[in-house]
Structure 1
C-alpha cells in the first residue's frame, strides 16, 4: 500500500452519497489508497453551516427538476438504480448509530442501508426498517442488541464527535472526500468530483469513457458574469478545437443572468449566499476546473460585474446561433478579459477594444448595442432561456429526437455531449 489516503464522509440521506459509496472501494483499489469511511450526521453539518435541512424544499422548480434529472443521469452512469423515496428526507441518526455499533469496516452494512433507502424506500428510521436492513446484512441474531445499543450515551457521543470532526475538516455536504498524497490534505465535494479525486491520487489524468460523436444541436446559454459560464464556454471551444464537437452544432445564446435569477426567484449573486466553508471550496473548485481546462483564471476585483453592454455587443456581432469564427473569438475574448485579466468589461472603450482585437469594428458594435433591436434581442434570449427551464449559467440544452434535455454547469458539458451523441443514459425520466 502506498502513502495515499482517502477519507470519505457519508450519510444515508443524500442520493449522491449513495452513488459515491458504491464507487469508493473501486476508486481506492485503483489508486492503491488507504480507504477510511467516516459516517456523519449530515443534518448536524447543515445546522452548523446554517443550511436548510431539506435542500430540495428551497430550490426553484426549474432547479429542482434539473437536480432530479441529474441524480438519475449519475445513477445511470454508475449503473445502479435510484428511486426517490416518498418519505425523503428520512431521519438517519438511528441507522448511523447502528453502523457505529456494528463497527468497521462500515461499508458492508452501509451498502444495505443505502439500498434500503434509495432503491426500496424502506423507512430506515423505524425499528421495523432497522430490523429489516440488519436482517439483509445477516445480523438478525444481533438485532435486539444493536437496537438497544444505539441509545447508549457512548454511541450517541461517537456520532456527534464524528460529525464535529467533519465540520472541523471543512465538510458542508455529502459525499465529501479528503485526500492526502503527502502534500497536505485536499477536500473535494460531490460524486461528480471522483475523477478529480482519482487524478490527484494517481498523479495524472484519468481516462474517461469515450463520448459518442455528437449529432444533435446544442444551445449554450451564457452570461459573462459567471465564472462557471467562462469555464463552460472555454470547454466547448476546447472540444471544437480538438475535433470532438462540430462548431456548426453549437448555438450560442447570450442571456442576462440577473434577469433570469429574478424570473425564477433566485438570489442575484448565488456565490454570496453560500456558507463560508462552501464558498472556500467553490473558489478552489473553480481553480481546479480552470487548471484542468488549461484556462487562465483570476477572480476579478470587480465582482459582480454589469454585463449588459458586452452581451449586447455580442448580439450585435451576430454571435447568436451558430455564429462565425470571429463571433466565437469575441465570446472567448470577453470572458478571458474579465476572468483572467481583471478588465472592466462594462467600459465601452474596453469592450470596443476587445471586439477590435477579434477583427471586428468595435466602436460600431458598441454603438449598435444601444439600438432598440439589440436591446430587444437580449430580452428575447433571456425570456427564451427561462422558458427552456434555464436557472443558471452555463446551461446546455440539447435538442434530439426525444425533445430538449437541459444540463446546468460547466461540469455537465460531458453529459450534454453524451446526450448530443444519443447516449440514452442522459435522458431525463
Structure 2
C-alpha cells in the first residue's frame, strides 16, 4: 500500500505542530528525515531567523496553532541559543532519527525529541541530557548518539537532503502524496483529501 511521505526536521515548530496531528489523522506515514537548512542552501531558500519580521510572525502564529490543536508548546530556549550560537549541531537530531529508523525505536525517539524541543522543554544541549532523554524513552541513549555522530550517518543524511531538494522540497513540514506536494502544517486537510482520492486512505 502507498503511504504519505512526511519530510521533517526537528528545528521546525510547524513540523512539531503537524506531527501532533498525524496519529489523529490516521494517515499511513513514511517519515523522511532531512536537515532543512542544508536543503534550503541547495535550493536557495532562506530560514525564518534571517528575516526578523517573518520570525516574529512565526512565533505568534505557532502559538495560535498550538492553541487550536490543544497541544503543549514551549520553545526550548537553551536548545535554541545553542543552535543559533553554533555550539550545537542541529543535524545531530536528524542523524539520531536515521539511527532510530535503522535500528528500531524510531517512534519513541521521534516523540521524545519533538517534545523536548517544542512541547515540554528539557536538556538536549548537554550529552548527559540527550542520553537521559532517550533512556527515559526506553531507548539506548548513549548508543544512539554515538551512532548519530558516525560519518556513515552523516553521509546518509546528506543523501536524504539531496533527494529532498531534487524532489522540490524547500521547507518543512512538506508532504507528498504521489507526485503532489503540500507544504505547511495548514495543508494537512489537503493531504488527507488527496490520500482519499488516491485510495491509500479511507
| TM-score over 0.5 (shorter chain) | yes
Segments of structure 2 that go 5 or more residues without pairing to the other structure are 84-88
Q: CA RMSD in A?
A: 2.3
Equivalence for 1:419: 194
Q: For the Cα contact (< 8 Å) 2:124–2:133, is it kept in 1?
A: no
Equivalence for 1:376: 155
Equivalence for 1:410: 185
Q: Paired residue for 2:64, among 288, 291, 294?
A: 288
What secondary structure does 1:377 align onto? helix
Equivalence for 1:38: none
Equivalence for 2:3: 217
> What are the within-5 Å matches in structure 2 for residues 13-412 of structure 1?
216-239=2-25, 244-245=26-27, 249-267=28-46, 269-275=47-53, 279-301=55-77, 302-303=79-80, 305=83, 306-318=89-101, 326-399=105-178, 404-412=179-187
User: In the TM superposition, what is the alpha-carbon distance from 1:279 to its structure 2 partner?
Assistant: 4.4
What secondary structure does 1:397 align onto? strand
In structure 2, relative to structure 1, the CA distance for the partners of 1:355 and 1:238 (3 Å cut) is farther
1:249-268 C-alpha deviation (Å, 9 max, x unpaired): 3111111111011111122x
1:138-182 C-alpha deviation (Å, 9 max, x unpaired): xxxxxxxxxxxxxxxxxxxxxxxxxxxxxxxxxxxxxxxxxxxxx
Q: Distance in 1 between matches of 2:148 and 2:127?
A: 10
TM-score between both structures, scaled by the size of structure 2: 0.84
Segments of structure 1 that go 5 or more residues without pairing to the other structure are 1-214, 424-429
Q: For the Cα contact (< 8 Å) 2:131–2:142, is it kept in 1?
A: yes
In structure 2, relative to structure 1, the CA distance for the partners of 1:415 and 1:331 (3 Å cut) is same
User: In the TM superposition, what is the alpha-carbon distance from 1:286 to its structure 2 partner?
Assistant: 0.6
What secondary structure does 2:11 align onto? coil
Number of equivalenced pairs: 192
Q: Distance in 2 between matches of 1:216 and 1:413?
A: 17
Equivalence for 1:189: none
Q: Distance in 2 between matches of 1:282 and 1:368?
A: 33
Relative contact order higher in (CA < 8 Å, ≥ 6 apart): 2
Structure with a larger share of its residues in helix: 2
TM-score between both structures, scaled by the size of structure 1: 0.42
Q: For the Cα contact (< 8 Å) 2:48–2:55, is it kept in 1?
A: no
1:339-370 C-alpha deviation (Å, 9 max, x unpaired): 12333434332222222222211111111112
Moved over 6 A (4+): none
Q: Distance in 2 between matches of 1:346 and 1:308?
A: 13
Q: For the Cα contact (< 8 Å) 1:313–1:365, is it kept in 2?
A: yes
Q: Distance in 2 between matches of 1:256 and 1:412?
A: 21
What secondary structure does 1:297 align onto? coil
Q: Distance in 2 between matches of 1:387 and 1:356?
A: 36
1:91-112 C-alpha deviation (Å, 9 max, x unpaired): xxxxxxxxxxxxxxxxxxxxxx
